[in-house]
Chains A and B, each alone.
Chain A
Amino acid sequence: MRFHLPQTTVSPLKLIRRERMLPGPGQILVQEGERVDPVQVIGIAEVPGSFHILNVAEMLGVPARSAQRYVKVEPGQEVKEGDILAMRRMPRRVCRSPIDGQVTGSGGGRLLVESKPQRVEVRAGYYGTVERVHPNRGVSIQIAGAIIQGAWANGQEGFGVLRVTVKGRDKPLRARTVDTASRGVILVGGARLDEQALERAVELQARGIIVGGLPAELLEAVKNLPFPVLATEGIGAISMSAHIFELLSTHDGREAVIDGRFQSGWTTRRPEIIIPLPAEPGTDPLRLMEAPLKVGDRVRAIRHPHTGMTGKVLALPEAAMRTVTGARLMVAQVKPDEGEEPLFIPLVNLEILR
């Protein structure tokens, strides 16, 4: 039988391609082949500004159908704040523009005034090379580096130097370990973090936090932070996978980029950590594999009581087994990386690590 399972990418070195798109048509400021760094502006675009709908008829005290007679501006005309847009002489009533902008529509006794479009700069977000320019829309950047997909993040993006603050993947990130050396770095914890550690991180203007599991009670606080917070395993007090902790520890002191944009539900998007590294000859491009699970695959458990455990598939029994809840499910026999006895874990509670 074939079993397709969800996958998580945790890889020490790959060639990764990421797109940086403008929020609307605009101008691209870099060229193909150009090296970029995270803060470099790769393009600018204009997005619509605010707008006001002015009920001219009501303001002048005239019927909607005759309001147009009193309007002094044309659609497309630029106006300044306070400019008269419509006027009635007897009795004297005026309608003034509330903003600097442009009249973009009129009808039904109303005027639409839009402020000038806002200029938005889009930064590269990564250390890499511009692989392709999509004219007026964005760029594709090729990055050589390690990549770790996370489970949850707070939607923020950022970059900084990794600082592993704990001695083991099961150790929580505590306030006392967030010292002055943590200023402006990405803090890496093990199992979880507490509220005091979070407060310290904010005080010291950390650039990001990476932990295994994020306590549910901190979710709201974390959502409002200006820097990315990423949980590699999920929500709760969960130890970081050994595989991920080792990879992050190996690169302690190196710069990393966190893309904390996350979506679940109908549309999904997984957060990720990319640690830029020099490309070696023959480095493979990152490809999402669609192959089904097979004996020998590396897997990670995604459900209690084994969440975060990584290991190798020893066998895929053909018959379903009864689990502790009483449900009969197809399982895999998995040899955990950390020397424990082989475990039977429901297939649906595993992810393939690639």
Chain B
Amino acid sequence: MAEQSTASILALDCGAVLTKAVLLDRVNGTYRFIARGEALTTVKPPWQDIAIGAQAAIEQVEDVTGRTLLNDRGNLITPQRDGLTGVDAFLVVSSAAPPIPVMVAGLVPEMSLASLLRAVAGTYSTVKGTIVHDPLRGMSTEEQVRRILDSQAEVVCISGGTDGGAAIPTLELVEATALACSMLGEGERPLLLYAGNSALRKRVVNIISGAAELRAVDNVRPALEVENYGGVQSELDALYREKHLNHMAGVELLTHWSRQPILPSAEAFARVVRYLWYLDESPKGTLGIDVGGFSTTVAAVFEGYLHLTIRADLGSAYGARALVERNGAASIMRWLPTPMPPETALSVILNKEIHPSSVPDDPAELWIEQAVARETIREALKTARPGWKPGKAQPYGELTPLFDPILISGGILAGAPRPGHVALMVLDAVEPIGITTLLLDANGLAPILGAVASFNPLATVETLDHGGVINLATVIAPVGFARKGDVVLRVRVNYEEGGSLDVEVPYGSLELLPLPPGEEAVLELEPRRRFDVGLGGPGKGGKQRVRGGILGLIVDARGRPLQLPDDPEEQQAQNQQWLWDVGG
């Protein structure tokens, strides 16, 4: 399709709930974000045609820009004919297809099975169950077969044994899987993805012997200290594209327009997060969080290496009910700034699941949805963290590694009524440490720019540089313990435009200091002994140049890990205070 010389680009991000259309074009020789449109995703009944929502979103772009993008029959006009008709390039990213239901089997939960689960977590899959074939925690063959049959999984992933290691238990696991497959009808049999001891591949082929389709990939745990997710992830990615994304109702029209396959949104989003790391190749990591309606993506980059996690069972609209069942209603209620009976909160969560495209039209319901967003991000990070290799970016094992920047995307965050709401949700959920910049993907461009980068990297870079994502705030979060109210950090903000501001930050507080977007300042930080602001260790201060944002500078001195009061009334008062502090 398009080459580097492409001018205008129209891109679609078809999410599970909403479809966004985005127009990028050159303005005075550089790429800019021009306009966006948004419509319901129409892949489900009554429409069952994803192109209807896509056309409606594109029409909104037409209305905003006065440009004609679709012809009388609703087809995309390409290439661009003049300044106001058509576009040169078109592409689609999507997360609207259901994830792959996967059964995961392995020998030792802490070894091959853990590696396999982490590998699967980086794909659009949902784990329907696990099988452990460990003599110490024995599960009979019958139970293994029953689990596979009951799971209705589309794929059974099998790990086990390092290369040249355990053979018999791994083969027994394969036998059980083959047996389960033989009990299913032709069209019902899952695909077998073998990612175990590679020395056993021939014997695995013999055991399966046509009972199911078999694909053997690189061992996910080839040695005790080595993990290799690549084989499993590329197979599951390919399967998701082939059997899920490309089978969505009405997708043919979109792929006909773009002349290339649809890219999974998470993969595209991760490319942008990786790009952000390469901008300064910082010893810190770069973090991206995209909370969609039905899924949440966490992309972390350390030393240039991407760790992608997709929770396809957890989003702002769908998944919260399961969270409440697992963690209790208190896990959501603790983030509310106003009182609400737990059953009312549960009603809001369930009704959101019934009507995923609806939005709060009442402050109390807004607080519930934002509380759900916090827990969704926390849960997704909990899944992601065991797979990270942060190295020097992790000064405190139990805390969040050092990240700069943190890119925030997804409707519940980008669509929050006030910037303070977004900042507080992210601070509460991620608990960043040290100095970090919060970048907000206010227009939902990140996945699209990630996809554009594959054929026009200049467009991605220039659009990002020209406000594609906005600086929400620079956060300074000291690590350490003190009594509430004790001064733990002295900050001097030396504004580039002139003047300075001195602030003493007490422990437990959340301070907002002015630094408007587009302005820069040099911070002089003087932490109290034993407090670490990320400038070389506890008690070490120094100077740091920072850029302004919509909220300016936020000093989050609430402590790490963040502690909330136990009493619900105190929790509400505390949350309300923090909301006021950030201008929410």
- Bound-complex Cα distance A215 to B60 (A): 39
What chain B residues lie within 8 Å of A110 (beta carbons)? 141, 175, 179
Interface residues of B in 321-347 (CB under 8 A from A): 343-344, 346-347
Contact call A236/B347, Cβ cutoff below 8 A? yes
What chain B residues lie within 8 Å of A105 (beta carbons)? 179, 182-183
What chain B residues lie within 8 Å of A316 (beta carbons)? none
Q: Which of B1-9, B44-52, B389-397 contacts A (4 or more CB under 8 A)?
A: B44-52
Q: Nearest Cβ distance between residue B44 and chain A, in whole angstroms? A: 6
- Bound-complex Cα distance A302 to B39 (A): 18
What chain A residues lie within 8 Å of B55 (beta carbons)? 2
B-contact bits for A10-29, CB 8 A (1 contact / 0 none): 00000000000000000000
What chain B residues lie within 8 Å of A108 (beta carbons)? 172, 175
Interface residues on A, range: 35 or more
Contact call B145/A53, Cβ cutoff below 8 A? yes
What chain B residues lie within 8 Å of A217 (beta carbons)? 343, 346
B-contact bits for A214-234, CB 8 A (1 contact / 0 none): 011101000000000000001
Nearest residue in A to B42 (C-beta to C-beta)? A4
Nearest residue in A to B45 (C-beta to C-beta)? A288
- Bound-complex Cα distance A107 to B171 (A): 13
Among B42, B45, B63, B358, find the residue whose CB has the most chain A CB atoms closer than 10 A: B358
Select one of A234, A264, A303 contacting B359, CB under 8 A: A303
Q: Which of A115-123, A175-183, A251-259, A265-273 contacts B (4 or more CB under 8 A)?
A: A265-273
Given contacts A108-B175, A215-B343, A327-B417, contact A4 B60 (CB under 8 A): no
A-contact bits for B92-127, CB 8 A (1 contact / 0 none): 000000110000000000000000000000000000
Contact call B363/A325, Cβ cutoff below 8 A? yes
Given contacts A104-B183, A105-B182, A348-B359, contact A234 B59 (CB under 8 A): no
Q: Nearest Cβ distance between residue A289 and chain B, in whole angstroms? A: 7
What chain B residues lie within 8 Å of A52 (beta carbons)? 142
What chain A residues lie within 8 Å of B435 (beta carbons)? none
Q: Which of B229-237, B348-356, B372-380 contacts A (4 or more CB under 8 A)?
A: B348-356
Select one of A6, A266, A288 contacting B99, CB under 8 A: A266
Given contacts A235-B347, A292-B56, A323-B361, contact A264 B353 (CB under 8 A): yes
Contact call B359/A51, Cβ cutoff below 8 A? no
Select one of A51, A55, A216, A345 contacting B343, CB under 8 A: A216
Contact call B39/A2, Cβ cutoff below 8 A? yes
Nearest residue in A to B345 (C-beta to C-beta)? A216
- Bound-complex Cα distance A104 to B49 (A): 44
Nearest residue in A to B182 (C-beta to C-beta)? A105
Interface membership of B65, Cβ < 8 A: no
Contact call B354/A151, Cβ cutoff below 8 A? yes
- Bound-complex Cα distance A5 to B145 (A): 44
Interface membership of B366, Cβ < 8 A: yes
Q: Nearest Cβ distance between residue A300 and chain B, in whole angstroms? A: 11
Nearest residue in B to A112 (C-beta to C-beta)? B179
Nearest residue in B to A110 (C-beta to C-beta)? B141
Contact call B53/A1, Cβ cutoff below 8 A? no
Contact call B350/A304, Cβ cutoff below 8 A? no
What chain A residues lie within 8 Å of B356 (beta carbons)? 264
What chain A residues lie within 8 Å of B353 (beta carbons)? 264-265
Contact call B40/A5, Cβ cutoff below 8 A? yes
Q: Nearest Cβ distance between residue A201 and chain B, in whole angstroms? A: 20
Given contacts A6-B355, A234-B350, A235-B346, contact A48 B183 (CB under 8 A): yes
Nearest residue in A to B146 (C-beta to C-beta)? A51
Contact call A216/B39, Cβ cutoff below 8 A? no
What chain A residues lie within 8 Å of B52 (beta carbons)? 4, 290
What chain B residues lie within 8 Å of A48 (beta carbons)? 183
Select one of B140, B359, B415 contacting A349, CB under 8 A: B359
Interface residues of A in 268-292 (CB under 8 A from B): 268, 288-290, 292
Contact call A4/B142, Cβ cutoff below 8 A? no
- Bound-complex Cα distance A51 to B176 (A): 13
- Bound-complex Cα distance A127 to B39 (A): 39
Given contacts A53-B179, A216-B350, A349-B358, contact A236 B344 (CB under 8 A): yes
Select one of A6, A307, A325 contacting B417, CB under 8 A: A325
Nearest residue in B to A350 (C-beta to C-beta)? B358
What chain A residues lie within 8 Å of B350 (beta carbons)? 152, 216, 219, 234-235
Given contacts A234-B350, A236-B351, A264-B354, contact A4 B53 (CB under 8 A): yes
What chain A residues lie within 8 Å of B99 (beta carbons)? 266
Interface membership of B469, Cβ < 8 A: no
What chain B residues lie within 8 Å of A2 (beta carbons)? 39, 55-56, 59
- Bound-complex Cα distance A122 to B365 (A): 43
Q: Nearest Cβ distance between residue B215 and chain A, in whole angstroms? A: 22
What chain B residues lie within 8 Å of A140 (beta carbons)? none
Q: Nearest Cβ distance between residue B466 and chain A, in whole angstroms? A: 23
B-contact bits for A139-167, CB 8 A (1 contact / 0 none): 00000000000011000000000000000
Contact call B294/A51, Cβ cutoff below 8 A? no
Interface membership of A295, Cβ < 8 A: no
Contact call B351/A325, Cβ cutoff below 8 A? no
Contact call B59/A1, Cβ cutoff below 8 A? yes
- Bound-complex Cα distance A112 to B211 (A): 15
Contact call B294/A53, Cβ cutoff below 8 A? no
Interface membership of A205, Cβ < 8 A: no
Interface membership of B75, Cβ < 8 A: no
What chain A residues lie within 8 Å of B418 (beta carbons)? 326
- Bound-complex Cα distance A53 to B98 (A): 34
Given contacts A53-B141, A53-B145, contact A4 B361 (CB under 8 A): no
Given contacts A2-B39, A4-B47, A290-B47, contact A303 B179 (CB under 8 A): no
Among B53, B140, B362, find the residue whose CB has the most chain A CB atoms closer than 10 A: B362
Interface membership of B269, Cβ < 8 A: no
25 CB-based A-B contacts, threshold 8 Å: A1-B59, A4-B40, A6-B357, A51-B142, A53-B145, A110-B175, A114-B183, A151-B354, A215-B343, A216-B344, A217-B343, A264-B318, A267-B98, A288-B45, A288-B46, A292-B56, A302-B351, A302-B354, A302-B355, A302-B358, A304-B362, A304-B365, A325-B362, A327-B360, A348-B358
Q: Which 6 A-B pairs have the closest CB atoms?
A: A288-B46, A326-B417, A236-B347, A266-B98, A216-B346, A235-B350
Beyond the given pairs A2-B55, A110-B179, A267-B98, 15 more chain A to chain B contacts, judged by CB atoms under 8 angstroms and listed by A's residue number, are A1-B56, A2-B56, A2-B59, A4-B53, A4-B56, A48-B183, A53-B140, A216-B343, A216-B347, A234-B347, A304-B361, A324-B361, A324-B362, A349-B355, A349-B361
